[in-house]
């Protein structure tokens, strides 16, 4: 927590006394992309970048919000009474839709919001990079409400409330992965999560001789305005076709061989490719977790590479810049594996790189990426962190 935040809090809210500190990480999905909304497995981890908040109760009964990332031009917080939260807002200050959605969902589920709150947010997650800044903001807000108002919301419930806020208030029909990883992260572990049942287990990620490098393509990552919802509709239609010939609960309830057996039922070849990605990626996620548990980093890296190829060719959510970054990483000595991460249509890649090759990796990939695309990339070396919560002390 920086002195700047305390100074800004005092300026915006009158004083910085009696505040509590909170942090919510971003997430990177190591493998298992676009399987969460099809009832499959994902394998994400929380990262060291995220969003900090200072918060305290107020006597006004209003929710008062300010972001150092988005509100610098304003001298006062956005404020609203809880019962006035109805529909999402348009610009300006549309970022407040994420905490407003959380408040509305909490009230929908009978959570008693007994006091107003003054909350100041400040994050170092690149906006639009696909590292789940929206999920981090949602889960962070749930944690603040839970702690300051004594709501006793556990980690799984915090993830579910946050997902519902994004689905029903913000209008982004995401799966549970992002919010779950942000809420339930564990230091130096990834989470193998069954998105159909919410059963989960932690797998230790032992990277003593390697680093996780996130590369930002600086192609803006915007899912609400993208074809994300269309991809979900295409998967839903593929599932509806398959159900005419076989009983199955979700796409990821099929193995790759089982999908092949019923592929004739899917009339649209585009929809079949979408289903093929979901089913094959689900199998890759499970195998990847097994590989890490066995210490087989080589197999894990090959699965990462195959994941990107499927996201490029079958699900068609990569863009040229992401494909360039992945290809440059695949060709570089000392890279175990590399793939796009997040929803796609821009954002980041994640690579696992040998410790002593990190600097040359950054220099080489950065220079070649700029030469080939005209864009500058940003690189982030990250650790795997705990999930969202109050900061002790």
- Please write the tens of the pLDDT for every residue from 63-104: 999 999 999 999 999 999 999 999 999 878 999 999 999 999
pLDDT band at 224 (very low <50, low <70, confident <90, very high): very low
DSSP-derived letter for residue 95 is: G
User: What distance in Å separates the CA atoms of residue 347 and residue 230, rounded to the nearest whole number?
Assistant: 19
- Choose among 132, 328, 345: nearest CA to 215: 328
* Overall average pLDDT of the 55-69 stretch: 97
Q: Count other Cβ atoms within 10 Å, centred on residue 393.
A: 5
Any idea which residues carry the catalytic annotation?
178
Is the bond preceding residue 120 a cis peptide, omega within 30 degrees? no
Quote the mean pLDDT of the chain: 94
* Overall average pLDDT of the 330-358 stretch: 95
Share of the chain above pLDDT 70, in %: 97
pLDDT band at 380 (very low <50, low <70, confident <90, very high): very high
- Choose among 115, 169, 176, 171: nearest CA to 146: 115
The 3-state DSSP composition of the chain as helix, strand, coil percent (nearest 5) reads: 45, 25, 35
Residue 99's pLDDT is 98
Residue 129's pLDDT is 65
In our burial notation (b when 16+ CB lie closer than 10 A, e otherwise), range 91-113 reads eebebbbbbbbbbbbbeeeebeb
Instruction: Tell if the pTM clears 0.85, that is, is over it.
Output: yes
User: What distance in Å separates the CA atoms of residue 192 and residue 45, rounded to the nearest whole number?
Assistant: 9
In our burial notation (b when 16+ CB lie closer than 10 A, e otherwise), range 19-41 reads beebbbbbbbbbbbbbbbbbbbb
277 pLDDT more than 80:
yes
∠ Cα 160 255 292 (to 5°): 70
Q: Which of 7-11, 49-53, 228-232, 306-310 has the lowest mean pLDDT?
A: 228-232
Q: How many helices (H) and strands (E) does the chain have?
A: 11, 12
Q: Count other Cβ atoms within 10 Å, centred on residue 122.
A: 18
Q: Phi, psi (5° rounding) for residue 67? A: -120, 125
User: Is 56 within 8 Å of 111 (Cβ atoms)?
Assistant: no
Strands in 335-341's sheet, in edge-to-edge order, are 335-341, 348-354, 210-216, 378-382
Burial zone of 265 (CB within 10 Å; 0-12 exposed, 13-18 middle, 19+ buried): middle
Residue 391's pLDDT is 95
Domains of the chain: 3-203 (3.30.230.10)
Residue 250's pLDDT is 96
């Amino acid at each position: 927590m920086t002195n700047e935040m305390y100074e800004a809090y005092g300026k915006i809210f009158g004083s910085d006394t009696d505040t509590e500190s909170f942090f919510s990480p971003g997430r990177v999905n190591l493998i298992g992309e676009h399987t969460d909304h099809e009832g499959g497995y994902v394998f994400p981890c929380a990262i060291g970048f995220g969003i900090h908040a200072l918060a305290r109760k107020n006597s006004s009964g209003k929710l008062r919000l300010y972001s150092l990332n988005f509100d610098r031009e304003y001298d006062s917080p956005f404020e609203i009474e809880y019962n006035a939260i109805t529909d999402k807002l348009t610009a300006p200050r549309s970022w407040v839709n994420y905490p407003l959605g959380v408040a509305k969902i909490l009230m929908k589920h009978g959570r008693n919001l007994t006091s107003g709150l003054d909350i100041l947010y400040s994050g170092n997650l690149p906006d639009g990079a696909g590292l789940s800044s929206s999920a981090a903001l949602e889960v962070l807000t749930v944690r603040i409400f839970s702690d300051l108002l004594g709501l006793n919301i556990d980690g799984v419930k915090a993830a579910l409330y946050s997902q519902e806020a994004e689905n029903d208030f913000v209008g982004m029909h995401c799966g549970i992965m992002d919010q779950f990883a942000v809420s339930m992260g564990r230091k130096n572990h990834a989470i193998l999560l069954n998105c159909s049942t919410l059963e989960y287990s932690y797998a230790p990620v032992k990277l003593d001789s390697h680093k996780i490098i996130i590369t930002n393509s600086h192609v803006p990552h915007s899912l609400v305005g993208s074809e994300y919802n269309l991809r979900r509709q295409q998967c839903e239609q593929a599932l509806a076709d398959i159900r005419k010939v076989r009983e199955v609960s979700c796409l990821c309830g099929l193995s790759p061989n089982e999908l092949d057996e019923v592929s004739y039922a899917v009339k649209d070849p585009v929809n079949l490719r979408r289903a093929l990605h979901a089913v094959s990626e689900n199998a890759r996620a499970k195998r990847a977790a097994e590989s890490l548990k066995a210490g087989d980093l080589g197999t894990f890296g090959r699965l990462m590479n195959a994941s990107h190829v499927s996201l490029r060719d079958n699900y068609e959510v990569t863009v040229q810049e992401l494909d360039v970054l992945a290809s440059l990483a695949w060709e570089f000595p000392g890279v175990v594996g590399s793939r796009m991460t997040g929803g796609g249509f821009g954002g980041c890649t994640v690579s696992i790189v040998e410790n002593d090759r990190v600097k040359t990796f950054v220099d080489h990939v950065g220079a070649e990426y700029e030469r080939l695309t005209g864009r500058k990339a940003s690189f982030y070396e990250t650790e795997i962190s705990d999930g969202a919560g109050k900061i002790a002390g």
